[in-house]
Amino acid sequence: MLSIKNLHASIEGKEILKGINLEVKPGEVHAIMGPNGSGKSTLASVLAGREEYEVTAGEVDYLGQDLLDLAPEERAREGVFLAFQYPVEIPGVSTTNFLKTALNQVREHKGLEPLDAVSFLTMMKEKMKLVEIDQALLSRSLNEGFSGGEKKRNEIFQMAMLEPKLSILDETDSGLDIDALRIVANGVNKLKTKDNATIVVTHYQRLLDYIVPDYVHVLYKGKIVKSGSKELALELEEKGYDWIKEEADTTTA
Amino acid sequence: MSKDNQILEEFTSKEYEHGWNIDIEADQAPKGLNEDIVRFISAKKEEPEWLLEWRLKAFRAWTKMKEPKWANVKFPDINYQDIIYYSAPKQKVKPKSLNEVDPELLETFKKLGISLEEQKRLTGVAVDAVLDSVSVATTFKDKLAEMGIIFCSFSEAVREHPELVKKYIGSVVPTSDNYFAALNSAVFSDGSFCYIPKGVRCPMELSTYFRINAANTGQFERTLIVAEEGSYVSYLEGCTAPQRDENQLHAAVVEIYAKKDAEVKYSTVQNWYPGDKEGKGGIYNFVTKRGICAGDNSKISWTQVETGSSITWKYPSCILKGDNSIGEFYSVAVTNNRQQADTGTKMIHIGKNTKSRIVSKGVSAGYSQNSYRGQVKVMKRADGARNFSQCDSLLMGDKCGAHTFPYIDIENKSAQIEHEATTSKIGEDQIFYCTQRGIDEEKAVALIVNGYCKEVLNQLPMEFAVEAQKLLALTLEGSVG
């Protein structure tokens, strides 16, 4: 589904990603872990098409298309979804209105009729249960005055509504208490099918207790320095990142 | 695709939509302005002697006045002798009913989406349509008359209800009030008149639709609304003009007189031709709008969505004379390309416990300049006066400007005044958040701007709000990327 080869990216002339290689197949959950500043969020942003980042080398194939060639909205319509680490506030625009606009543009892209108000509301009601989100919250201005937990739940709710093929969760666990974490993780698990894939970007292992990954990759200084199964995450939790840093620094030295 | 979406689609893919003009034979005054022209206009309208005298007084005052230069706008000097002050579509006979109106004229308004055919009572809005200088048709007149409501062209009001016109004309905006109001008073050619009798709640929206068609003409219309004790009316005004290379002057006057317990809601969606991308052509919109809450507990509420005109100079104001009276001003002013807007309000608190509320939302894009200018004045005897002002500016790109000029003048210590102002930019973050969900950039901007203006748009009647939203999207077309 997703094939990243030798991806290099920089921001304001500073190289952050220094040759990422990653293969993601349908039905898989990949966790990207690593110390602060290793390039985890940059990878998520580059895949979603954030303009501040410049891709200097490498290629990304997504379902047979050159992902890097697509505008952010085209990537989204093709099924790439980014759950933001810091969801943006849009005053005066309700989540409902926002999602209706988004969903209908995605549907238009797929050659489908826009959803009428009734079908849209029915769909919303159904998806709301997944992340235990309240209707009242969806009528409020998007993310404005939302608590940390509400913002993240709202991200997963949007993911449920847009039914992406490839979901990238960027530090979705940050700022969540244990209950909110469980709700968010449950939502993600319920949305999992054999046809879609998930990339979970996280600093801590605790999210992976709930969203169990098939593969764990450790990112350090812009490269994936270690890959393994879910046990790798546990090892990291126990030993921290220092041993990986040392290992990586000696091999490059 | 739903019809709404289709319309929106059409709107967002076009430049100024109303830029066409129709060849209608016009009956015009010679270019220029002097006493003879004023007499010519008055004679054309077959006006009574008192009105001619009133006009001449205004003209003489005007000749002694100077064009105001304090607004934050720049334009070359206007040659007032190079303008045609009277232009009327030529019709063989004066139409007595809609059936006798020139079909070409009806077609003009049909093209604008305004149905003048009363049979098609779909909209439930009574319309007075003004083309160039004269009112061509007013709908639903008979139905309104049953309730004692007078809604007609200004000329007709002069003929049929001279006592009302004489009593109220100039009572809120005197002839010598300001340069453009004086000019209007001297040469105004038509407009709308509306009278709501005591205790009557007008059952439908009353609407005036202004259209400039002829070239080289100015449009000078007057609107006078009188709301008797305990009455209510909601009034809408819309405007468009053809796309022309030269600038055209529009200097209108609106007066509202609200008596005890009366309420008047006045909404405008202004979409005069804004000029092209380089700032060539467009309407100079120099307008004086003022209402007086003359009686206790009366209320006047202005809502405006200003998207057009190359220059807007406009300050819809309220004189809060009656005790407990309320004045409101809700404004969205959007400027793009080379447009300039200097707009705001004046709230003059005279009566006790008077309240005013100002919500102004400016959106500037391209190379445009957008200024809010507002005055809150609390007079000596206005005990317990309260004002809340909120002025927000939204900038798109880094070539445009947003300015706020609030004037606060308080002579009574019990006054409570609150002023909030914010300036923000549409963030790359906000746009990226939208595009990441599959929304394209143009729609993202429209969504963000509409959200930002929501508080004001919510004040508009439903049909108007939809139109306003489309206009916002259209005006900002091409302002990103």
Report d(CA B140, CA B120) in Å as an integer: 11
| More confident call, B478 vs A232 | A232
Angle between helical axes of A242-252 and A230-239 (0-180°, round to 10)? 100
Instruction: Tell me the residue type at A112.
Output: L
Min Cα distance A134 → chain B (Å) is 21
Q: What average pLDDT does range B26-55 have in this prediction?
A: 87
Rounded (10°) angle between helices A178-191 and A117-130: 120
User: Taken in order A132, A135, A136, A138, is the CA torsion positive or negative?
Assistant: positive
* B contacts of A165 (beta carbons < 8 Å): none
Q: At what angle do helices A178-191 and A148-162 cross, to 10 degrees?
A: 0
Element containing residue A152 per DSSP (H, E): helix A148-162
Q: Residue B236 pLDDT > 60, yes or no?
A: yes
Task: Specify the pairing of strand B26-28 against strand B87-89.
Answer: antiparallel
With CB atoms and an 8 Å threshold, state whether A73 touches B427.
no
CA dihedral for B122, B124, B126, B127, sign (positive or negative)? negative
Measured in angstroms, the CA of A101 and the nearest CA of chain B are apart by: 7
**Which of A165-169, B15-19, B346-350 shows the lowest mean pLDDT across its residues?**
B15-19
CB distance B336 to B476 below 8 Å: yes
* Per-residue 3-state assignment (H helix, E strand, C coil) for B27-54: EECCECCCHHHHHHHHHHCCCCHHHHHH
The structure tokens listed for B247 are: 């600038």
Q: Is A42 left (phi over 0), alpha (psi -120 to 50) or beta?
A: alpha
Is A3 in contact with A58 (CB distance < 8 Å)? no
Query: Does the structure show a pLDDT above 90 at A42?
Result: yes
Written as one string, the DSSP assignment of B326-342 is EEEEEEEEEE-TT-EEE
Q: Is the pLDDT of residue B5 over 50?
A: no
Structure tokens at A52: 């501040």
> Which chain B residues touch A113 with a CB distance below 8 Å?
1
- Helix (H), strand (E) at residue B180: helix B179-187
pLDDT of res. B4: 39
Reading the block at residue A186, the tokens are 């449950």
CA distance A105 to A235: 43
Is 90 exceeded by the pLDDT of residue B3?
no
ipTM of this complex: 0.95
Asked if pLDDT for residue B60 goes beyond 90, the answer is yes
Asked if B453's CB is within 8 angstroms of A52's CB, the reply is no
For chain A positions 3-62, those within 8 Å of chain B (CB to CB) are 48-52
Q: Is the pLDDT of residue B265 over 90?
A: yes
pLDDT above 50 (res A77):
yes
Q: How far apart are CA A41 and CA A53, in angstroms?
A: 11
d(CA B118, CA B125): 10
Lowest mean pLDDT across A192-201, B105-114, B260-269, B406-415: B105-114
Give pLDDT, residue B120: 40
Angle at B396 between CA B394 and CA B397, to 5 degrees: 140
Q: Tokens standing for B310? A: 């190359």
Mean pLDDT, range B460-465, rounded to an integer: 76
CA–CA dist B110, B139 (Å, integer) = 14
B433 with A90: Cβ contact below 8 A: yes
Stretch 102-131 of chain A: residues touching chain B, C-beta under 8 Å: 102-106, 108-109, 113-114, 116
Residue B67: pLDDT band with limits 50, 70, 90 = confident
Token output for A161: 């509504």
Q: Which of B68-72, B140-144, B321-325, B462-466 has the lowest mean pLDDT?
A: B462-466
Instruction: State whether B435 and A113 contact (CB < 8 Å).
Output: no
A82 interfaces chain B, CB cutoff of 8 Å: yes
**Cβ within 8 Å of A, B 420-449:** 427-430, 432-441, 443, 447-448
Tokens at residue B163, please? 């006592």
CATH architecture of A2-220+240-252: 3-Layer(aba) Sandwich (3.40)
Is residue A146 a contact partner of residue A138, using CB atoms and an 8 Å limit?
no
Q: Where are the domains of chain A?
A: 2-220+240-252
- Residue A158, number of CB atoms within 10 A of its CB: 24
Phi (first) and psi of residue B220, to 5 degrees: -130, 90
Residue B97 has pLDDT above 70, yes or no: no
Q: Give the H/E segment covering residue B182.
A: helix B179-187
Among A169-173, B77-81, B229-233, B346-350, the minimum mean pLDDT is found in B77-81
pLDDT classification of A2: cutoffs 50, 70, 90: very high
User: Number of helices and strands (H, E) in chain A?
Assistant: 9, 12
Confidence band, pLDDT 50/70/90 cuts, at residue B31: confident
- pLDDT surpassing 80 at residue B336: yes
Contact B437 A71 (CB under 8 A): no
Question: pLDDT digit string (tens) for B130-186?
Answer: 665 555 556 677 778 899 999 888 888 999 999 999 999 999 999 889 999 999 999
B437 vs A99: CB contact, 8 Å cut-off? yes
Least Cα separation, residue B457 to chain A (angstroms): 11
